[in-house]
Structure 1
Amino acid sequence: MNDNNPVIHTDIEPGVISTQMIKDALREQGPKGEAGRLMEEESQDIQNTPSKQLRLEFLNILQIDHLWMMTGLTKLKLSNNIIEKIENLDELVNLVELDLSFNRITVIENLGNLVNLEILTLFENSIEEVQNLDSQTKLEIFSIGHNKISNPDCVLYLRKFESLKVLNMAGNPCCYGINFRGRISVFIPQLIYYEYKVIMKEERESIRAVFGRELEILEENEKKERIEKEKKEACDQELKFHKEGFVEFLDKDQLFYELFQNDAEGKASFLTESEAELIHEGFKEHMGKVTHALFNMGMEQLKLRNEEERQFQDTVNRTKKESLNDSRSIVEGCLERKEFIYHDTNKCFESIEKQGVTDDNFAYYTELMRNNTEDIHNLYFDVWIALMKNELTLYEQMEELITTFERNLADMINVFLESAQAYFTQIREQESTFMELITDHLIRFQTQASIRNDSFSDFPLEFRNMMVDKESVHSAMAASHDIHLLVIDGREDLMTSRIRQWHSQLCSKLMNDEIKRNRAAITEINYFLDYQRAEFEGFYSKYNDEEETILDTLSEKSINQSGQFE
């Protein structure tokens, strides 16, 4: 279809999107005149461009590249080129509309990061399958007409896009030979337009009977899948909650089963009469009580830590709010005083315009303007001191809060780990008791089997090796014991390392965030006062040559008067 697309610019060699190509497009598509010049000066680098849209059409583009620099793009048009592969768009996470129509694309791919995409146009390409769009949950408009899609079941894939309102698949092989529009209207009930024509309610209801049985089976399967998905999500959410308490997989018998997961000798001991089963069940029951108690303790400690975090955050927010109110009062007072000084200075200029400069009023105007200038500079200096002092106080308060919070959390973690250590000690003791019981049982079993001259040819190799003699039993159970202790120690070490790491990372992040906030606040204070000073320095420049002449006159009189005094 598109293999014979005409190349519009025959003078352009097939190539890759370059930075120069992007700059040229931004210049051509951006504002003109002075606005365009200013925008170009302010955004010399592509990364800094304020443009949200970009069109690179009819440019004989073969490969997509260099667009990763434009992370702010929301609309991208790359139609009417010779692009063969969708690639290098991972950084455009804000993209809402993407047009890749009239190219040579064969596979939908590499769109996983474009989660905000609402409009996707792939018209007139060589795509054979609708796929790899699972991340585009916000998709509303999808145009993929005139491709090579032959499987009509692609409709079932599009069914899951709940926001999909407009679809165009005209010109694909799958559209011929069946009532494809009817299939679309029934299996994608959220769709409003197909091939840019409204799907009427009557049309949808009339065709529903044709696909009734197939639709019914589909809905039943979807219901089962939805139930399974909800169960999985609930389990995942529960597991996430347990991980926050650092006691995941301890609420049931998971640790017991983990002991025997890689323990071939331990599993083999299950094969000896009912007494072995009773011993295992007894161990399982007692160990389960301990692990469940450990789990409950961990979740209670999580509640305490969450409460500590909540109180810390409340205190932080309250402290920041008080500091913000103080800073706001300082700034408001500064602006009020500034307006008074500006007003007084304006009145002075108006009086000079009306009365002119005379020997009688010269000293008055000179003193007034000198005082206003000194007042404004003193005002800005005092405000800078006040704002900096307020920010320093806030930083010190935040530093103290974080330190106290870090210490409180450390104390709570130590209590948690000490309690956990006691529980793990109980688990080890129970495991040792179990090993003694099961070893005694296996020795009796081996002795009786030797007397009876039993054959174990039908049993696993591990069991046969264990039943050679008493030494073999002891050796096998010692290996099993070591494996169990390794699992228990590993689980305890994992708990300890994870909670220590969480504590360290959390407190480091809090302090680093505070340092960044403090630096940003200082920068904002300096920027605010630099702007105020620059505004004052430019205050007199707004007056025309007449006022400048008056100021010069004031200066000359001041000089002459100084000479007379000399």
Structure 2
Amino acid sequence: MIDTDEPTVVDEEMLQQAVEEQGPKGQAGVIAKQETIELKDVLHLRLDYRHILKIDHLWQFTSLTKLQLDNNIIEKITGLEFLTNLVWLDLSFNHIEAIEGLEALVKLEDLSLSNNSISTMENMDTLVNLHVLSICNNKLTQLDNVIYLRKFKNLRALNLAGNPVSTEECYKEFIAVYLPDLAYLDFRLLNEQTREEAMAKYQYALEELIHNETQELRVIEAKNQKEEELQQHREAFVDLLNGSQLFEGMYADDTEAERLAYLPGVPMLNQMVALCVQLFELGLVQKRARDEEVKCFFDCFHEAVEDNQQVASEKIVDFEKARREMLLEMQRMMDREELLARIGQGSKETCDLHDELMTLELQLADQLEDVVKDFERNISDMVASFIEAAQGIYPFITIRRPGVYCAPTGCTCSLTCLVCTFAQCRDLENIHNEKLLEISMATLEKVAKNELEEESQDELRALLVDKDTVMSAIGASHDTHLLKIDNREDELVTRINSWVASLMKTIHHDEVARNRKRIAEIHNYIDNVKEKLDDLNPS
């Protein structure tokens, strides 16, 4: 405990002192202090009665499950974002005015905020495992604020005594009906009689609340489902290609589109939507194929590692059995030369085991290297094929009937057309541009002959000042459309290539780490065996 009236901040010196004070006592404590206690291994920490104003420097306590910060002068909850394993937290008897900074404490089960200045229960949405909440002697005045706690389905004990809200006449009944899973309120059991009386009193209000919650839940579920689908589309690299998004984006960025739309008989690019949808469907099919390839690789990888480890384990088990018998035999030996000979034999057997284990690891590393190479070649070929299909680098068969399987991409198209590509989108845009030029030239002639219809004459005359003005507007529109298509194509190619590169980098890194760890395990084991043999050497 710090004997000072001055506000303090949690710092490294305070933390080290607290850990030492709460660590082992006596000789065990001396040893622990000499070896230096690792803060990342500390499970419980008391920082009460230390006049703490600000929480800080707790980032090293990643294993902490219980933290006591009561009876300080803390005004704001901060510095807890690294304590993701925290189960029990006491912040009572402080100067806290708002609940905040608890988002990372997803494992928290017991939270005490008693004797503070909190006026609203909020910002606890991530505490889904909360069992006990003590927030007595605060400034909670709104009984409706209790409804916020309905989202905590595991909440069993709640303490609100000493808040203005607890003096309301319907306090107990209100909480009993709106928190049906709550077992204890203010340290007293909520009995069935109280619940029945509360239900009779608030039945219609509760039914309306449940109805509204159900509607909100449906909206949230629909939103989550949509986000999950979009994430799947992102992972297939064809997000926002399952409709008119690319088409609409072309015109959204086209500053000349509105003026050009006044030209009579301007064709629409609706066919592009169908092409994008086909490309989208192709992307999903290709993603499923890649996912299956990745799964097959990791299954094969892990199976090879497990089989190798099984063989190595059997060798070690046999060796340990023989070693135990050898140690018993050596302990009974009286002849020094015989003992030395047996130690030499044991050393040779240990070296032989080392060679066998290292050979096994070498064989596994070679096997996995081949597996990784095959996978890298396969996944790279799959990605290259998809990119070529999307770009239209090589020709595909024409789909003659709706729903015909589209070799070699695996896309089941629903329209009679060539397999979808960005090249086709550009072709459509080029055709559209040529048609627009024809229409504009014909319209210019009508302007010259004063043959335009009255209702569109003013708008068209503003556009059709002369041939150069029209050509400039059409050219700018065309460039904008092509740029949008090119950018989306570049985005697809860049993202999928980055995915392959990142995946292979991770695989290679993990395999190197696995190999080094296994070799270190073998060396450590063999060194330990040799050390025990050396201890038996009479010389």
Quick check: TM above 0.5? yes
1:437 corresponds in structure 2 to 435
- CA gap of 1:447–1:225, structure 2 versus 1, over 3 A, is farther
Deviation at 1:13, TM superposition (A): 3.3
Moved more, 257-266 or 406-415: 257-266
Deviation at 1:105, TM superposition (A): 0.9
1:548 corresponds in structure 2 to none
Structure 1 residue 324 and structure 2 residue 309: aligned? yes
2:376 corresponds in structure 1 to 406
1:564 corresponds in structure 2 to none
Letter in 1 for 2:521: E
- CA gap of 1:44–1:192, structure 2 versus 1, over 3 A, is closer
Cα-to-partner distance string for 1:179-225 (whole Å, 9 max, x where unaligned): 12222122222222111212223312321233333323322221111
Partner of residue 165 from structure 1, selected from 156, 168, 181: 156
1:508 corresponds in structure 2 to 505
Structure 1 residue 175 and structure 2 residue 163: aligned? no
Deviation at 1:271, TM superposition (A): 5.2
Q: 3-state DSSP class of the match of 2:121?
A: coil
Structure 1 residue 134 and structure 2 residue 125: aligned? yes
> Alignment length, in residue pairs?
509
Distance in 2 between residues matched to 1:188 and 1:307, nearest whole Å: 46
Distance in 2 between residues matched to 1:72 and 1:464, nearest whole Å: 75
Distance in 1 between residues matched to 2:195 and 2:445, nearest whole Å: 79
2:101 corresponds in structure 1 to 110
- CA gap of 1:523–1:465, structure 2 versus 1, over 3 A, is farther
2:216 corresponds in structure 1 to 225
Deviation at 1:161, TM superposition (A): 1.4
Moved more, 164-173 or 17-26: 17-26
Moved more, 518-527 or 442-451: 442-451
Q: 3-state DSSP class of the match of 1:68?
A: coil
Distance in 2 between residues matched to 1:235 and 1:93, nearest whole Å: 29
1:558 corresponds in structure 2 to none
Distance in 1 between residues matched to 2:177 and 2:439, nearest whole Å: 67
1:275-314 alignment, distance < 5 Å: 275-276=265-266, 279-280=267-268, 283-284=269-270, 286-314=271-299
Partner of residue 342 from structure 2, selected from 356, 372, 380: 372
Cα-to-partner distance string for 1:111-145 (whole Å, 9 max, x where unaligned): 11111111111000011221211221111111111
| Structure with greater helix share of residues | 1
Distance in 1 between residues matched to 2:493 and 2:10, nearest whole Å: 51
Given that residues 100 and 122 in structure 1 are in contact (C-alpha distance below 8 angstroms), is that contact kept between their aligned partners in structure 2?
yes
- CA gap of 1:177–1:443, structure 2 versus 1, over 3 A, is farther
Deviation at 1:458, TM superposition (A): 9.2
Distance in 2 between residues matched to 1:311 and 1:494, nearest whole Å: 28
Report sequence identity in percent. Answer: 35
Q: 3-state DSSP class of the match of 1:159?
A: helix
Distance in 2 between residues matched to 1:529 and 1:21, nearest whole Å: 43
Cα-to-partner distance string for 1:236-276 (whole Å, 9 max, x where unaligned): 11111122211111122221111112223224444566x44
Structure 1 residue 152 and structure 2 residue 137: aligned? no
Letter in 1 for 2:88: E
- CA gap of 1:212–1:445, structure 2 versus 1, over 3 A, is farther
Cα-to-partner distance string for 1:63-108 (whole Å, 9 max, x where unaligned): 2122211111001011011111111111111111110000111121
2:134 corresponds in structure 1 to 143
2:24 corresponds in structure 1 to 31
- CA gap of 1:38–1:394, structure 2 versus 1, over 3 A, is farther
- CA gap of 1:223–1:448, structure 2 versus 1, over 3 A, is farther
- CA gap of 1:126–1:445, structure 2 versus 1, over 3 A, is farther
Distance in 2 between residues matched to 1:122 and 1:322, nearest whole Å: 53
1:22 corresponds in structure 2 to 15
Q: 3-state DSSP class of the match of 2:111?
A: strand
Deviation at 1:43, TM superposition (A): 3.5
Distance in 2 between residues matched to 1:388 and 1:204, nearest whole Å: 69
Letter in 2 for 1:79: D
Partner of residue 326 from structure 2, selected from 324, 341, 352: 341
1:211 corresponds in structure 2 to 202
Partner of residue 427 from structure 1, selected from 421, 425, 428: 425
Distance in 2 between residues matched to 1:45 and 1:457, nearest whole Å: 83
Distance in 1 between residues matched to 2:353 and 2:464, nearest whole Å: 89
Distance in 2 between residues matched to 1:271 and 1:182, nearest whole Å: 68
Distance in 1 between residues matched to 2:135 and 2:299, nearest whole Å: 52
What runs of 5+ residues in structure 2 fail to find an aligned partner? 393-420
Given that residues 104 and 126 in structure 1 are in contact (C-alpha distance below 8 angstroms), is that contact kept between their aligned partners in structure 2?
yes
Letter in 2 for 1:146: N
Distance in 2 between residues matched to 1:52 and 1:90, nearest whole Å: 16
Q: 3-state DSSP class of the match of 1:209?
A: helix
Given that residues 173 and 197 in structure 2 are in contact (C-alpha distance below 8 angstroms), is that contact kept between their aligned partners in structure 1?
no
| Larger gyration radius, structure 1 or structure 2 | 1
Distance in 2 between residues matched to 1:268 and 1:119, nearest whole Å: 65
Distance in 1 between residues matched to 2:27 and 2:352, nearest whole Å: 39
What RMSD in Å do the two structures reach over aligned CA positions?
A: 2.4
Q: 3-state DSSP class of the match of 2:143?
A: coil
Given that residues 465 and 472 in structure 1 are in contact (C-alpha distance below 8 angstroms), is that contact kept between their aligned partners in structure 2?
no
Deviation at 1:35, TM superposition (A): 3.4
Deviation at 1:440, TM superposition (A): 3.7
Cα-to-partner distance string for 1:1-27 (whole Å, 9 max, x where unaligned): xxxxxxx97545321123232233223
Deviation at 1:46, TM superposition (A): 2.6
- CA gap of 1:45–1:303, structure 2 versus 1, over 3 A, is closer
Moved more, 526-535 or 119-128: 526-535
2:518 corresponds in structure 1 to 521
Distance in 2 between residues matched to 1:464 and 1:56, nearest whole Å: 80
Letter in 1 for 2:109: E
Given that residues 99 and 122 in structure 2 are in contact (C-alpha distance below 8 angstroms), is that contact kept between their aligned partners in structure 1?
yes
Distance in 2 between residues matched to 1:173 and 1:458, nearest whole Å: 71
Cα-to-partner distance string for 1:286-339 (whole Å, 9 max, x where unaligned): 212211221222222212212211221122122112210221122122212211
Partner of residue 187 from structure 1, selected from 154, 178, 182: 178
- CA gap of 1:467–1:161, structure 2 versus 1, over 3 A, is farther
Distance in 2 between residues matched to 1:195 and 1:206, nearest whole Å: 19
Letter in 2 for 1:84: E
1:392 corresponds in structure 2 to 362
Deviation at 1:435, TM superposition (A): 2.5
1:361 corresponds in structure 2 to none
Letter in 2 for 1:317: H
Moved more, 232-241 or 98-107: 232-241
Q: 3-state DSSP class of the match of 2:59?
A: helix
Letter in 2 for 1:19: E
